[in-house]
Structure 1
Amino acid sequence: MTALTSANLGLRRALVTRQVYVVAMLVLLAFGAMARGTMESSKPLSQEVYVWQRAWNDPVQKAIQQHSQEFTGMVVLNAEVTWRKGNPQLTRVPLDYAVLREAKCKVGLALRIGAFSGPFTADAPTTKYLEEVAYSIIAEAQANKVSVQELQIDFDCAESKLQGYRTWVEVIRKKVTPVPVIITALPSWLSQSSFSSLAKAADGYILQVHSFERPKTFNSPFQLCDPVLARKSVMKAGEIGVPFRVALPTYGYVVAFNTEGKFLGLSAEGPAKNWPAEARVKEIWSDPRALAKLVEELGKSHPDALKGIFWYRMPISLDVLNWSWPTLKAVMAGRQPRESSRVEAKRPEPGLVEISLVNDGEVDLSSRPVIEIRWHHARLVACDGLRDFEAIELNSNAMQFRARSTAVAGHLVPGGRWSIGWLRLSDNEEVQVEARKP
């Protein structure tokens, strides 16, 4: 009996020792993860948006008035510094402070700074200049009774200059305190030894995982934002331990090559470029379905240092290279945007039938369906296609509206309607309308 008791005691001690060891290892792993900033979290992420427009026209004002309540915060472009022969050139954006005062979310200001090679010393004239610009735009907003929640600095910084950039951040942050200073950063910066100290010199950063590079050739496959690489960058950023938000793109851009395959340029903001008539042009867009899945995944599990998602950029009615609001709203919820369209046939007068294509979904329609019209007894008197659709007579009782092979690119936005053609019949007869993929 004594031997059995001793054996039991020995077994118990071994089990207790093992349990203590396991608990100790788990604690050490937890503290190690905390030190690296990689603790996983499912806390809700903030949803913020960038307003890049330099002209605050009616569509910009209406977008803010109608949708600002959907976001935690909004950052508006307020000033941009470029360089000419080493001298700063300042462009100010005349903001509508009345609209910003009424915005139903936090408001921040963005200061863009073009590429600069140095010097970056605290007492350099360029440093003092940027310090004053940062202070002045915040002071002006506050004088107009806008509460500035952050200053976002978007500097086109070379990776070799990150240490010097830190000096700028420290000087500007001291000048504008207590307004937080946030910097934008690229995934490639995360591998630089100087980035950690730069990030810690600011109050946080925006990790821009969207690419603004150009395709190598006209037919090269290209993603504006690769969700797999984006998630890897987010996890790597989490190891630094500095609070950050990830910027996801809502826009597209137009890229052009000449007939010999030479790159001509790209356009993502403002009017189309003056490219030759024979230029080969195509659009490259961020994929709302892929990004919706990424948002869903990040919502379930993300590094504790990740605090939110920053959308580049606010949908504006005249911004044709950007998602529409229904698309962004669905993606923000981590939900696949619904695709749906219908064809309408209206009879404004006897014998006349007008055909319209309506987008009643949540995502742009970039492809054009083939629309077939059928009737029984009447005779086709006349017909015509509109908006790059051509009318094709199939037989005495049927015709089609089909996109011409020379049709230019275009998107039917959610809620949008295109008049695509009309036909006139000899009698006031009902027609059957069917839409199918080309």
Structure 2
Amino acid sequence: MTDFLKKPYIPIAFLLCLVGIHTAFTTRTGRTLPSDAYIWQRQWTPAVSTAVTASQPVIHTWRILAAELDGHGSWVDTTPDSPLLARTHTPVIAVIRIEGQLADWDEEQLAAHILAVKAAWQQRGITVSGLEIDHDCATVRLPAYARFLGLLHGRLEPTPLSITVLPTWLASPELEEVLARVDDAVLQIHAVQNPQFGLFNPEKAHEWVRTFAQRRRGPWHVALPAYGTRVTWGTDGRIAGIESEQDRLMGADSGHELVAPPAEIAAFMKRIEHAPPHGLAGWAWFRLPTSDDRRAWSLPTWRAVITHQPLRTALSVSLHRPSATAPYDIVLANAGNADAEAPPAIRIESPCPSGADGLNGYNLDYDAQGMWLRRAQPGLLRAGQQAVIGWVRCDRGTVRAYAGTHDRQS
């Protein structure tokens, strides 16, 4: 070793270099990612406008459904609240949904309609900062999709072009050609499997994120769910219907409730943000919660997850009797800041052996201890909300109802 390397200021300089490297590394790995949000409602009701105004401080960009091309080749364009969007000064990406089952299209006509929609929005005073194509095509059609994206990108410049990406595309060698033609990509990690496997699987989602990070060269986002849905199957085993905006506490039938628990999504975000993959620019939430959308999270819960606030649920069961001759209503309430999963069982203690029933997703059942309400389907009770989940009729003695062995109230 030379005298030069023995000098005392060399180790100090070396240590300072290591500190600089460590600082750069930790700054990159420990950061909160910004949140975009999809506005997917086709009608801009007052509830949508209220939600946009309330959520604007925590949203980086709105990704708004602008037009949809169905499987028969027919267009449906939307009309957003342009004065409201102008007032919020939040960047807007116009999203064009193309039905994945569409067998074929005329590239020139398709591009022309998309450009016309963009021009119409701009004429109404909406500054379109980007355009996104949502097309869940089969993997075999990726070459044709890439060709169209190349044509559209050339017509749009300098407006950035983004797309949504399915996990099923990750194994295809054609994915690179698709990604090379866009400026941004949104990886979908919810509602991409058979509904029998649920709405969101955190382990699968983490695997898809890691795989996509190795394929993508450029910025990208991850789409997160802030909703639930109910799937019903027909007698042939095929999906017969999907309910996405009805009340989440419903009666039992052949359907199955799919829920994205807020705590599970928050934990997934924390895991990814601890060491974000290269190029990951942020989250894209589907979809903006509104008071009309009974299967979306509540706005307070959504904001708490976005801003990394501690989630607190405070479920309680109480009895309410409207009059001396009326039956008792069994009321489930959530006083916390987070939507909570409804308890699987509510015990009823009553001197009267009959005269009770369940409501809003609960069924009456009996065991050796007496009556109880059994939750028929998974469901979330919104923060600050309550629901009548059953009733019991008894005119003597003391009646009690409680979840499990806690929160006994008479």
Q: Tell me if 1:100 matches 2:76.
A: no
Equivalence for 1:367: 343
Q: Tell me if 1:307 matches 2:281.
A: yes
Q: Tell me if 1:287 matches 2:272.
A: no
For residues 323 and 337 of structure 1, the distance between their equivalents in structure 2, rounded to whole angstroms, comes to 13
Between 385-394 and 241-250, the greater mean CA deviation after superposition? 385-394
TM-score by structure 2 length?
A: 0.78
Q: Tell me if 1:330 matches 2:300.
A: no
For residues 310 and 332 of structure 1, the distance between their equivalents in structure 2, rounded to whole angstroms, comes to 11
Deviation of 1:433 (Å): 5.2
Find the residue that maps to 1:415 and give its secondary structure: coil
Q: For the Cα contact (< 8 Å) 1:54–1:93, is it kept in 2?
A: yes
Q: For the Cα contact (< 8 Å) 1:134–1:176, is it kept in 2?
A: no
Out of 333, 356, 379, the residue aligned to residue 358 of structure 1 is: 333
Equivalence for 1:111: 96
Deviation of 1:271 (Å): 6.7
Ranges in structure 1 where 5+ consecutive residues have no aligned partner: 1-7, 14-38, 120-125
For residues 356 and 124 of structure 2, the distance between their equivalents in structure 1, rounded to whole angstroms, comes to 55
Equivalence for 1:31: none
| Aligned AA (1:205) | A
What percent of counterpart residues are identical? 23
1:102-156 alpha-carbon deviations (Å, 9 max, x no partner): 335322211011234557xxxxxx1111222221111111111111121111112
Equivalence for 1:254: 230
Find the residue that maps to 1:160 and give its secondary structure: helix
Q: 1:310 to 1:340 in 2, by over 3 A?
A: same
Superposed CA RMSD in Å reads 4.2
Find the residue that maps to 2:32 and give its secondary structure: coil
Q: 1:271 to 1:390 in 2, by over 3 A?
A: closer
Q: For the Cα contact (< 8 Å) 1:150–1:180, is it kept in 2?
A: yes
Q: For the Cα contact (< 8 Å) 2:62–2:90, is it kept in 1?
A: yes
Q: For the Cα contact (< 8 Å) 1:206–1:244, is it kept in 2?
A: yes
| Aligned AA (1:223) | G
| Aligned AA (1:157) | C
For residues 390 and 303 of structure 1, the distance between their equivalents in structure 2, rounded to whole angstroms, comes to 46
TM-score by structure 1 length?
A: 0.73
Q: 1:196 to 1:268 in 2, by over 3 A?
A: farther
Equivalence for 1:19: none
Q: For the Cα contact (< 8 Å) 2:346–2:374, is it kept in 1?
A: no
Q: Tell me if 1:183 matches 2:171.
A: no
For residues 322 and 104 of structure 2, the distance between their equivalents in structure 1, rounded to whole angstroms, comes to 68
| Aligned AA (2:346) | V
For residues 233 and 213 of structure 1, the distance between their equivalents in structure 2, rounded to whole angstroms, comes to 12
Q: 1:243 to 1:404 in 2, by over 3 A?
A: closer
The count of aligned residue pairs is: 388
| Aligned AA (1:290) | E
Deviation of 1:204 (Å): 0.9
Equivalence for 2:143: 163
Out of 3, 28, 53, the residue aligned to residue 65 of structure 1 is: 53
1:344-389 alpha-carbon deviations (Å, 9 max, x no partner): 4557667977653211131133336525568xxxx98x97667367
Q: For the Cα contact (< 8 Å) 1:45–1:309, is it kept in 2?
A: yes
Equivalence for 1:412: 381
Find the residue that maps to 1:224 and give its secondary structure: coil
Q: 1:367 to 1:74 in 2, by over 3 A?
A: same
Q: 1:346 to 1:434 in 2, by over 3 A?
A: closer
Q: For the Cα contact (< 8 Å) 1:343–1:355, is it kept in 2?
A: yes
For residues 253 and 394 of structure 2, the distance between their equivalents in structure 1, rounded to whole angstroms, comes to 38
Q: For the Cα contact (< 8 Å) 2:344–2:374, is it kept in 1?
A: no
Q: 1:366 to 1:356 in 2, by over 3 A?
A: closer
Equivalence for 1:29: none
Q: For the Cα contact (< 8 Å) 2:256–2:377, is it kept in 1?
A: no
Q: 1:249 to 1:174 in 2, by over 3 A?
A: same
Find the residue that maps to 2:267 and give its secondary structure: helix
Deviation of 1:61 (Å): 2.0
Q: For the Cα contact (< 8 Å) 1:293–1:336, is it kept in 2?
A: no
Equivalence for 1:78: 66
Deviation of 1:255 (Å): 2.4
Q: For the Cα contact (< 8 Å) 2:252–2:377, is it kept in 1?
A: no
Between 169-178 and 47-56, the greater mean CA deviation after superposition? 169-178
| Aligned AA (1:79) | A
Equivalence for 2:403: 436
Q: 1:372 to 1:386 in 2, by over 3 A?
A: closer
Deviation of 1:411 (Å): 4.4
Find the residue that maps to 1:75 and give its secondary structure: strand
Q: 1:233 to 1:390 in 2, by over 3 A?
A: closer
Q: Which has the larger radius of gyration?
A: 1
